[in-house]
Structure 1
Amino acid sequence: MVRLLDDQALERSSVVANCAMNRERGLTGSNGYGRELGIDVVGLITERLARGAEVFRWLDLCCGTGTALLECARLVDDPRLHVTGVDLVDFFAGPPHPRVEFVTTSVGSFTPERCFDLVTCVHGLHYVGDKLDVLARAASWLAADGLLVANLDLAAVVSEQGRPWRRRLAGVLRSAGFDYDARRRRITCTGRRQVRLPFEYLGADDQAGPNYTGQPAVNSYYADTRAGLG
């Protein structure tokens, strides 16, 4: 029988604590944000600012050391750019930059006071318990024309019996306004929206083993709240 962990226990798990997915990840290169997210972050920001945007806010969840965020701020070098990185561990890179803010907290409890033009999460959801709640809340943090991009492995979202809901879940997410690239395991959303997904979070399994990245990850268990589906 699988022992499911609540958020507090999961955050103390060695699988989550030892996660090194974003520790030194930069913006570009074979392991960079551009490759993993499929977007040119600097290009997106500079294009939006060139069109006269008063401000551009980028939120990066599970940012690790935040190396890519600091790199971006140095490259763009525009006072209208504001970058926020959120991570469970206070192990951020330096030197600090006046337009980059780091917040040490769980993404499950993070609640921003403003909307963002770009929200990203590079492989961080692999180590989050309630992945669907984070996605739903992140969609509500977008500006009207904002973009959400994250890596999501549908094989890690399972039923009470431990069975993945790949096809069913992909359909539900698309109906809620998300786009899912199954080959690249990447989820996107354009424009702020309020999302209610028909799943009840039950807990997480930190002993699920390696996922497609080759790194140990976390499976998230849900009950389907729609009548007749389990």
Structure 2
Amino acid sequence: MPLTTDAELERSTVVANRLMNRERRLRAYDRELGIDTLDVLRAAIGPRPARWLDLCCGAAYALGEAAHLLGDDAEIVGVDLVDFFACRPNPPRLNLTTASVTTWRPEAPFDLITCVHGLHYVGDKLGLLSRATNWLTENGLLVANLDAHSIRLPDGTPAGRRLTAALRSQGLTYDARTKRIRCHGPRTINFPYRYLGANDQAGPNYTGQPAVDSHYTPA
């Protein structure tokens, strides 16, 4: 099957029309990620504000809520491919950036990094995870929704148990039932896979929404 590059993928109608995270509020984030976002951030407040990065943040309603509740105790960054931000105007310490998560880089580490259903629309999912784990503070937490079934081998079959074993061998925690991946603290990750490209015609995933399969060859 023909595979698309990340640049082509970002112009795909599947990615452009994604609805998974556009209107989510803070309570929905907690439910999807299995955490209490505010509690995680409050626990990280110290001599400096807690720092939260949300990748594929959509309209950023949840980020706006957290920014108003935490005020100067938190610095919050949201990154999304589309400038569709609709949170409250000018909340303190909230920075919303229109950029591709495949090329964007932060200037400082974060206490919390989240990606609510955004990985479903990223081509090189493993590449983004390996970079993002390096953006954590010493006690930071990364948590994201990941459908391991969408990680495919060159022949189109799912990477399966070898993938989940590779994730866990790198210090990540993957729950196949909830389809959540976690990382505690910064890590330098080397997945035994080389990215080939993406399939934006994969059809609906477990969410019921059209998603993107990512194809890799074992390294």
Structure 1: distance between partners of 2:55 and 2:48: 23
Structure 2: distance between partners of 1:46 and 1:118: 11
Structure 1: distance between partners of 2:34 and 2:47: 23
* Aligned partner of 1:157 among 151, 154, 158: 151
Alignment of 1:179 with 2:170, yes or no, is no
**Equivalent residue number for residue 14 of structure 1:** 13
Structure 2: distance between partners of 1:53 and 1:106: 32
Structure 2: distance between partners of 1:61 and 1:186: 15
**Equivalent residue number for residue 46 of structure 1:** 42
| Secondary structure of the structure 2 residue equivalent to 1:132 | helix
Post-superposition offset of 1:55: 2.1
Q: Deviations over 1:15-63 (max 9, x none)?
A: 00000111110011xxx000000000011112332xx342211000000
**Equivalent residue number for residue 198 of structure 2:** 204
Q: Deviations over 1:78-136 (max 9, x none)?
A: x1310000000011013221211011111000111110000000000000000000000
* Aligned partner of 1:83 among 76, 86, 101: 76
User: Contact 2:42 / 2:50 at 8 angstroms: preserved in 1?
Assistant: no
Give the TM-score taking structure 2 as reference length: 0.97
Unaligned residue ranges in structure 2 (runs of 5+): none
| Root-mean-square deviation over aligned CA pairs | 0.9
Unaligned residue ranges in structure 1 (runs of 5+): 226-230
State the one-letter code of the partner of 1:197.
F
Structure 1: distance between partners of 2:132 and 2:44: 20
Structure 2: distance between partners of 1:164 and 1:176: 19
Post-superposition offset of 1:212: 0.1
Choose 89-98 or 177-186, whichever is displaced more: 89-98
State the one-letter code of the partner of 1:16.
V
Structure 2: distance between partners of 1:57 and 1:12: 31
**Equivalent residues in 2 for 1:10-159, closer than 5 Å:** 10-28=9-27, 32-49=28-45, 52-77=46-71, 79-93=72-86, 94-159=88-153
> Aligned residues, how many?
218
**Equivalent residue number for residue 228 of structure 1:** none
State the one-letter code of the partner of 1:42.
L
State the one-letter code of the partner of 1:36.
E
| Secondary structure of the structure 1 residue equivalent to 2:26 | coil
State the one-letter code of the partner of 2:30.
G
